[in-house]
Amino acid sequence: MIVAEDPELRQRLAVPLSAYGYRLYEAPDYTTALSDMLARPSDQVVPHGIVLGGSDRPSTQEALHAIRRHSLFAKTGVLVVSARIPPSEAAGLLDAGADDCYLRPFVGAIYAARVRGVLRRARPGGEGDDAEVLCFGRGLVVDVVRRAVAVDGQPAALSRSQFDLLVRLMRSGGGIVASRELEGLVSASAGAGTSVEVRAELDGLRGHLGRFGEAIIEASDGYFRMAESLVG
């Protein structure tokens, strides 16, 4: 959720994040943001992160206090982004409930990295595998905790075994994974597990991943890996 009064600022804050496949929402102020989030269905209410942009310190502190008063948002990561707040006042914002402050100068790549850092720390379970968000290229994002996959910002409806296969291949970092290991994942998810079924599940997975499907490669007979990047 990106919160900023100025529409141009909201756009500026959104652009560096859209390349990573995040589903973004925008609001002109924190009261609108909270109302919008609370009005959604229960499985869509809690955002992973909130970016508060452009306000002065008193307004930002007021927003932080309002967000943290809601137990629903207790685990939501909050990043403050503002050129109007001097660095000397960052400590007060952190004490008020911000997880990080990025004050100035604004560099899109650094801002996006700060957002990713806040999101990692906001995951249930803290650090480790249960808190993972896996990314490939610019557009494939896998949330291990919520078992959710986004392709260029759109959700991908994977079967349980397809999700498990994708996570295993992405975690391999480009290394090969034996079909026998993948057969175990298919068996655990679907009650069966043969090399034929692994290939069938991977074919279905490729279809769900769109342009990223070509990144799933059979390196040799019975061995699979994830390409390091897309060609072209």
Question: Considering the domain boundaries, does residue 132 fall inside one?
Answer: no
9 and 108: one domain?
yes
Question: Considering the domain boundaries, does residue 17 fall inside one?
Answer: yes
Q: Rounded to 5 degrees, what are φ and ψ at 149? A: -125, 130
Q: Which residue has the higher pLDDT, 119 or 97?
A: 97
Q: Which contacts of 85-89 are long-range, i.e. CB under 8 A and separated by 24 or more positions?
A: 85/56, 85/57, 85/60, 89/57
Tens digits of residue pLDDT in 43-57:
444 566 899 987 787
Average pLDDT for residues 106-125, to the nearest whole number?
79
Question: Considering the domain boundaries, does residue 164 fall inside one?
Answer: yes
CB distance 24 to 59 below 8 Å: no
Domain endpoint, select from 65, 99, 122: 122
Tens digits of residue pLDDT in 208-217:
999 999 999 9
Domain count, the chain: 2
Question: Considering the domain boundaries, does residue 219 fall inside one?
Answer: yes
89 and 42: one domain?
yes
For residue 171, give its domain range. Answer: 157-226
CA distance 198 to 90: 51
Question: Considering the domain boundaries, does residue 146 fall inside one?
Answer: no
Question: Considering the domain boundaries, does residue 44 fall inside one?
Answer: yes
Question: Considering the domain boundaries, does residue 150 fall inside one?
Answer: no
- Say which CATH number the domain at 97 has: 3.40.50.2300
85 and 18: one domain?
yes
Question: Considering the domain boundaries, does residue 29 fall inside one?
Answer: yes
In this predicted structure, what is the pLDDT of residue 9?
92
Confidence band of 180 (pLDDT split at 50, 70, 90): confident
Q: What is the pTM of this model?
A: 0.54
